[in-house]
Amino acid sequence: MADVEEPQEEDEQPEILYENFQLPRPPPYYHQFTEKNLQRLQDLKELHGHDIDNPRTKASILLDLPSELRCLVPPEPPEDGIVLNFGDTKTNLHFLKPLSEMGIPQLYPEPIPLTADESEWTHERARYLKQLARSILLSFIELMGILSVNPNLYERKIEHLRRLFENALHLINEYRPHQARESLIMMMEKQIQKKRDEIEKVKSMKEKVETMLAGLGKEELNGTPDILPSHEASIATPAVELWKRQQRAVWAALDEELGQ
């Protein structure tokens, strides 16, 4: 007798909940993101030895997966850097379009030529941001005055505020490449410093071990080590037993020095 397939765990949402939504409905496959399906996918990964994450074998394995589990496997990043977002083509090569291409008036000058000093444009950008912030504050105060006198005239001032915010946000977003570069530099500096600290610890431990071994060698040349009890030193002990005790004494001294 064939096994009866269990019904999918879907949240039955009344259609009335979506009537007043301004945003589009979520895709129907979001119902498949359940704890049960995620656990099934994890079990399959363990069965295939994580080959499901390998781009070379991912396509063939996806075809063998049940339909409710295929959407749980994230797609590969696009090779050409072009993606489709809500019907609009996006690219990671030009992440920030000029305001003119978006139909927004630009309220600050164009950047200086790339041949000039980069720090010069950085200072100019900061100055324009301060000017935009002051304009936003002043326009907001003017909006409050308009609303108190004639609220019907608010649209023009709201549109002006929108333009100010769009220019300020665009100017801030121009810092993103610089922020990413500085974050990468900081992360690499931390990694280098961590490696240097580890090297210094290894060198320090090496010096301690060499000092300890040199001290033990001197004690061996001078006779019976001081760490052995005096009453045992006078007893005739077989050579093998004496050698074992000396080795134990060396390890005990090293453990004490290393703090173990």
User: 90 φ, ψ to 5°?
Assistant: -115, 150
Q: What is the pLDDT of residues 125-165, one digit of tens each?
A: 888 899 999 999 999 999 999 999 888 888 999 999 999 99
Residue 17: predicted pLDDT: 55
Residue 12: predicted pLDDT: 47
Q: For 21-35, 177-191, 197-211, which range has the lowest pLDDT when averaged over its residues?
A: 21-35
Cα–Cα distance between 129 and 170 in angstroms, integer? 10
Residue 24: predicted pLDDT: 75
**Domain residue spans of the chain:** 15-76, 99-174, 181-258
Percent of the chain having pLDDT more than 90?
20
Q: Count Cβ neighbours within 10 Å for each residue of 214-238 and write b for 16 or more, e otherwise.
A: eebeebeeeeebeeeeeeeeeeeee
Q: Please, how many CA atoms are within 13 Å of residue 10, restricted to the half-sphere of its CB?
A: 12
Q: What is the rounded average pLDDT for all residues in the chain?
A: 75
- What is the C-alpha R_g of the chain? 36
- Asked whether 161 and 133 are in contact (CB, 8 A), the reply is no
Cα–Cα distance between 243 and 240 in angstroms, integer? 5
Residue 58: predicted pLDDT: 67
pLDDT category of residue 222 using cuts at 50, 70 and 90: low
Q: What is the pLDDT of residues 31-76, one digit of tens each?
A: 888 999 888 888 887 776 656 666 666 666 777 778 888 888 777 7
